[in-house]
Amino acid sequence: QVQLVQSGPEVKKPGASVKVSCKASGYSFTRYGISWVRQAPGQGLEWMGWIAVYNGHTDYAQKFQGRVTMTMDTSTDTVYMELRDLRSDDTAVYYCARLRPYYYHMDVWGEGTMAAVSS
Amino acid sequence: QSVLTQPPSVSAAPGQKVTISCSGSSSNIGDNYVSWYQQLPGAVPKLLIYENNDRPSGIPDRFSGSKSGTSATLDIAGLQTGDEADYYCGTWDSSLSAVVFGGGTKLTVL
């Protein structure tokens, strides 16, 4: 079945970086994009960006530009999201989701990765 | 502040119908497809409606979506207690080159 499996929880100190992986299976990896959405405790959904797996194109939300990088490894059907210079308000659950290019809906979601930033 | 505007909460009795609104602008809802997501308490978001009014397989037809101009709505008919969740609208914003979400609407089934 179609699924996205994410890496495990992370605890980081302020100023550090976190890199979350998202491994896809059950579909043609290069036909879709992968989007990253985060959700701080008790808050709503916040889109971070996406990577078009078929050509590597990325769009990042303005808020994260310069601090986030999304990459992919087509040999393992895995996408990575790295967020640098972490602050306490980056504490959140980070989701990857399969994104349909041009239509921009997200139809399959990973289970989420909790990343806590604390000194 | 979210780019798309949703009411923070709505409520209705079991069996009734509720409408959740999502207001945007010409660069987002006015120019692109709208999708809706349901997030049950403690769960992962789930796609409910895509391309304004289509349902993924497995989503009951009690859930329906529509779009007019720069606004969209999600209707939920025959409310059940299991529908209590947060609902988010989302779309692409052509000016921002970004997906934008509404702030979410908490549905309470009284």
Confidence bin at A59 (pLDDT 50/70/90): very high
- According to DSSP, residue B76 is labeled E
* 8 Å CB contact of A95 and B44: yes
pLDDT at A102: 87
pLDDT at A28: 93
pLDDT at A103: 87
Distance separating alpha carbons of residues A39 and A91, to the nearest angstrom: 9
What average pLDDT score do residues A55-80 get?
96
pLDDT at A41: 97
Q: pLDDT of A7-32, one tens digit each?
A: 999 999 999 999 999 999 999 999 99
**Which of A105, A106, A113 to mutate to probe the B interface, most B CBs <10 Å?**
A105
Which residues, in sequence order, are CB contacts of A100 under 8 Å at separation 6+? Answer: A32, A33, A106, A107, B50
Q: pLDDT of B45-71, one tens digit each?
A: 999 999 999 999 999 999 999 999 999
* 8 Å CB contact of B100 and A35: no
- Predicted confidence pLDDT, tens digits, chain B (110 residues): 899 999 999 999 999 999 999 999 999 999 999 999 999 999 999 999 999 999 999 999 999 999 999 999 999 999 999 999 999 999 999 999 999 999 999 999 98
**Which of A2, A45, A62, A107 to mutate to probe the B interface, most B CBs <10 Å?**
A45
Please check whether residue A35 touches B, CB under 8 A. Answer: yes
Q: Which of A35, A95, A107 sits opposite B50 (nearest CB)?
A: A107
For chain A, give the mean pLDDT.
96
Q: Is it the case that residue A3 has pLDDT exceeding 90?
A: yes
**Residue A86: other Cβ atoms inside 10 A:** 21
pLDDT at B1: 83
Distance separating alpha carbons of residues B4 and B7, to the nearest angstrom: 10
Q: Is it the case that residue A112 has pLDDT exceeding 90?
A: yes
